[in-house]
Amino acid sequence: MAGKWESAHQVLRVICTGWTLDLRDGIRIVCDYPDVFPDELPGMPPDRDIEFLIELLHGTAPIAMRQYRMAPIEHEEVKKNIDELLAKGYIRPSSSPWAFPDTDVKRMCVDYRALNKVTIKNKYPLPRIDDLFDQLQGACVFSKIDLRSGYHQLKIRPSDIPKTAFTTKYGLYEYTVMSFGLTNAPAYFMQPMNSVFMDYLDKFVVVFIDDILIYSKTEALVLQRLREHQLYAKFSKCEFWIDEVRFLGHVVSKGGIAVDPSKVSTVTNWKVPEIPKEVRGFLGLAGYYRRFIENFSRIAKPMTSLLEKDAEFRGQMHSKLLLMTPVLTLPDQQKKFIVYCDASRDGLGCVLMQEGKVIAYASRQLRKHELNYPTHDLELAAVEHALKIWRHYLYGQRCEIYTDHKSLKYIFTQNELNMRQRRWLELIKDYDMEIHYDPGKANVVADALSRKSYANMAPHFREDERGTLWYKNRICVPNVDSIEKLILSEAHDTAYSIHPGSTKMYYDLKERFWWYGMKRAVAEYVAICDTCRRVKANIETSRFITAVEEWKWEEITMDFIVGLPRTQKGYNSIWVVVDRLTKVAHFIPVNTTYSGAKLAELYISRIVCLHGVPKRIISDRGSQFTSRFWEQLHNSLDTKLRFSTAYHPQTDG
pLDDT tens, position by position, 160-196: 999 999 998 888 999 999 888 888 888 888 888 888 8
The CA distance from 251 to 116, in Å, is 34
Q: Rounded to 5, what percent of the chain is helix, strand, coil?
A: 40, 20, 40
Alpha-helix runs per DSSP H in 398-527 = 419-428, 444-451, 481-492, 502-510, 518-527
Q: Are 567 and 590 in contact (CB under 8 A)?
A: no
The pLDDT of residue 197 is: 82
Instruction: Give which of 208, 200, 157 is closest to 54, Cα–Cα.
Output: 157
Q: How many CB atoms lie within 10 A of CB 269?
A: 11
Cβ atoms of 150 and 210 within 8 Å: the answer is yes
What is the spatial distance between Cα 610 and Cα 626, in angstroms, rounded to a whole number?
24
Residues of the chain with confidence (pLDDT) below 50: 1-21, 288-298, 315-318, 321-327, 441-442, 455, 540-545
Contact 92, 106 (CB under 8 A): no
Class of residue 641 by CB neighbours under 10 A (exposed 0-12, middle 13-18, buried 19+): middle
Q: Long-range CB contacts (< 8 A, 24+ apart) of 610-615?
A: 611/552, 611/553, 611/579, 612/553, 613/637, 613/638, 613/639, 614/553, 614/554, 614/555, 614/556, 614/639, 615/549, 615/554, 615/555, 615/639, 615/640
Q: Are 172 and 236 in contact (CB under 8 A)?
A: no
Asked whether the beta carbons of 431 and 384 are under 8 A apart, the reply is no
Q: What are the angstrom distances between the C-alpha of 653 and each of 40, 103, 580, 589, 617?
A: 64, 42, 7, 19, 11
Helix (H) or strand (E) holding 196: helix 185-196
Helices 596-603 and 628-636 pack at an angle, to 10 degrees, of: 30
CA 167 to chain centre: 22
438: helix, strand or coil: coil
For residue 209, what are the contacts with CB-CB under 8 A and spacing of at least 6? 126, 150, 186, 189, 190, 193, 395, 396
**What would the 3-class secondary structure string for 133-145 be?**
HHCCCCCCCEEEE
The per-residue pLDDT for 176 is 92
Nearest to 340 by CA among 287, 290, 382: 382
| CB 100 within 8 Å of CB 65 | yes
**Which pLDDT does position 271 carry in this prediction?**
65
Contact 448, 414 (CB under 8 A): no
* Cα gap 601→247, rounded to integer Å: 90
